[in-house]
Structure 1
Amino acid sequence: MVTIQVPIYVDRAATIRAGLDPSTESIAVDLDAITQEERDLLADHMGAPIAVTTPTVEDLFETLRATAAAVDALLAELLEAHRDVLRERRVKTWQEPIMSFGEETYEVTEPDWPRIRRTAVPGGPDPLDVMAKHRDKVREITHGAQAAAWRRELDAINQESRDRALREWHEAEEARTRARDEGIARLKEWAMTNGSERVRLLIEENMATWYGVAEDEFFAAHTPAGFRPFVDNPYAPPLPAPDAADIHALREARFLAATDDCVGDPALVWLRRPAGPEHDPGGSAVQLTITAPHGSTRVVWRWVSTSHSLTTHQPAPGESEADWLDLAPTVAEAVEEFRRLLDAFDDVRPDEMTTMFYMHAFNELTASGRQLLETLDTDTPPAPDERGTDA
C-alpha cells in the first residue's frame, strides 16, 4: 500500500457541520485504492494546498476534477488565441537600431502572439502556470510548419527593411560628406580671396591648421560691429518680457541678418554678465548666429542699448506716429550709439578689414549716421522764419 499526504485548505464551517476536525491540513490518500483517472488528477496538480469543502477524499477529488476542467478550458482558450494569430497573420512592429551606435532605426515585424500575464481569477488556474505546463502544445502552433513558413516571410521582410534603412543611412552619410567637402572648398576659396596673408600661406603650403584659422577669420569678418562671440557657453534663456529698446535691437539684428546670407536667427536673450557676481541678474542681449560655408556656426551677441535706429523701422500696426516718436532717441543717445559704433571699428585688426568688413561697416555707418541726423533734425528748434517772424 502506497499512501501520500495531500495538503489542503478546508472550509471551517462546513467541516464543523460535518463533524470533522477543522484544523486538518492534509488528507491521506491510498494510491492503490483510487482509480487511474484519480491518480492522474493528483499527478497533474501543481502541489499547492487544495481548497476543499471538507477534509474527505471525496471532496478532494471533486475539487481536483473541477480544477482540471477549468485548466482545460483555459488551455483551449489560450491555444485558440494563438491559432487566431497564425490564421489572421496578425503582426506587431517596432523600431530596431541599425547599428550599436547612432539613432538610425529600421522597422521590425513579428507575429503578435498573445501576451500572457498573471491575471488569474481568485480560485482559478493561473494562465502563466498553464502555459508553462503545456508549452509543448503552444509550440506546436508557434513553431509548427505553418508558423515557420510565416516566420521566414517576415524574416525576409525584416532583412529588406534593414538593408533599405542601412542603404539610406549610407546615402545620407555620403551626402553629408559631400556637402561638408563642398563647404570646406568654399571656405578655402573665401580664405584665398578675403583671408589674411597668413591663412593664404597656410593653404598654399597645404598645412592642416589653415582650416581653423580660416574659420575664425570667416566668423570675424561676418560678425557685425559691436557683437562678440559667446564664451564658455553662458546661460542665455529667451528674454521673457522685452521692452521697447529690446524690440528695436531685435529689429536691427534682423536688418543685419537680411544684409548677409551667413547671418541669421536673431533673438533676444537674458544673459548673465561675464565674471559677474552671483547676485548680478545680468541683462538683455541680442544674438545672431553666423554659419560658415562648411556648416559650422558661431553665436555672437551684444548688450541691448537704450538707443535705437528709426531709419530701419516703421511704426508697428496699431501704433500711432506720436507713440512712435515718443520712442525716438535723444541727441545724446544717438551720439552715444554712433560713438559706440566707431569704438567697435577701433578694435578691428588690419587683416580683418576685408571686403565683407567694409560692406558691413558701410551699412552700419549709414544707418547710425542717418539716425543721428534725423535726431538732430527733430531736436533742432525751428528757424525764425518758420516761427512766422521777420528775418
Structure 2
Amino acid sequence: MAAPTELPPLAPGATIGILGGGQLGRMLSQAASRLGFDVVILDPEENSPAGRVSRGQIVAAYDDPTALNVFGRVCDVVTFEFENVPAASVERLAEAGALVAPGPVALAVAQDRVEEKTFLNGVGAPTVAFAAIDSLDDLTAALQTLGTPALLKTRRDGYDGKGQVWIKSAKQAAAALAELGGRPAILEARADFTRELSIIAARGRDGTIAVYPLGQNHHAGGVLRTTQAPAAVDAKTERRARAIATAVLEGLAYVGVIGIELFDLGDGRLLVNEIAPRVHNTGHWTQDGCVCDQFEQHIRAIAGWPLGPVTAHARVQMTNLLGADIDQWTKLAAKPDHRLHLYGKAEARPGRKMAHVNRIAPL
C-alpha cells in the first residue's frame, strides 16, 4: 500500500471504519455522514450507540481475527474511538494492508503510562516526575525519591479516576499496591497546579496542523464535569500549549485529532497530564463553538481532506450529564442558549456519561 501522504483524499461514498461503538464513535459517525461517507462500526455490544447511526455494525470482540479481516476489507480507512482497543488488533489491520489512523504507535504509547510519559519528555513536553513500579521495593524506593503525597496508577487500562490511588505516607505503600491488584503501575509526583487545561489539535496526512483554543476543565471524582472554552489564558500560555501539541503530533507522525490534558502551574509552566489519541471529552465544546468541530476535523484528517477552521465563534460551557442527570433533558432542551447532545444509551447507571450540554454565549 502507498504511504498515507501519497494516497488521494477519500471521496464521498467511501467507507470509514470505527473501532468502538460508544458516544465518541456515534458522534464521529454522524460527522462522517454529513461529509458523505458510509460508516461501519466494530463493537462487541449489539445495537451500540454508534451502530444505530451507522451503515452497519460488526458485532464481535476487538481481537476477533475473522471480524478484523472482514472489517479491514470493507473499510477504506479505520480509526478508533477509545484508546483501550487492543494495539495488536490495530497492528493486525495495518499489517493486512488496511489504512489505520491514528496508527498503532500512537495507540501503544497512550496505552502505557510509563511509555507515554517517557515519550512526552523525549519530545520536550514535560510531565511530573514519575517512576515505573513493578514491586513493593520499587514503590518504597520511588516514594523516597518523589515524596508524598504521590499518585499510584496502573500502567494500563485506567480511566475516569479508576485504577489509581493517592499515597499520603510511605506506610500506605503495600495497601495501595494491593488495591491496584499488584498490577504493573506508575508512581507520579504531585503536581502543584492552579488549574487544569486541555488542548485539542489535529494533524492531516500532509503534516498540516490545526490547534483549537484551550479549554479549562473541572473534574470531580476523577471524572470531567465541565469545560469552559476558550479558556482565559495569556499569549505565552497559549503559545506553549500549541508548541506542546505540535511536538506530540509530529513526534508520533500522527494523523487525526488528539486530546492533551495539561496542568497549569501558574508561573508560565505547563505540564502534560496525559494524551488521548482520539477525539476527547474536553473537545465537545467545539460542536457549538467552532465552524468545524473536533469530530468533523478527525474525519477530515483521516480521510486526507483539508483540515477545517478552528477559530471559536462562541464561548461555551460544556457540562457532562452523568447517570440520572439525563432526567433533566426536557428542562435543558427548553433553554434557548443550550445545545443538548444525547448519546442514545438505554441505561442511566450512576456515573455513566449519558449526554452533554453546551451552554453558548457570545465571545
TM-score of the aligned structures, taking structure 2 as reference length: 0.21
Higher strand share: 2
Larger fraction in helix? 1
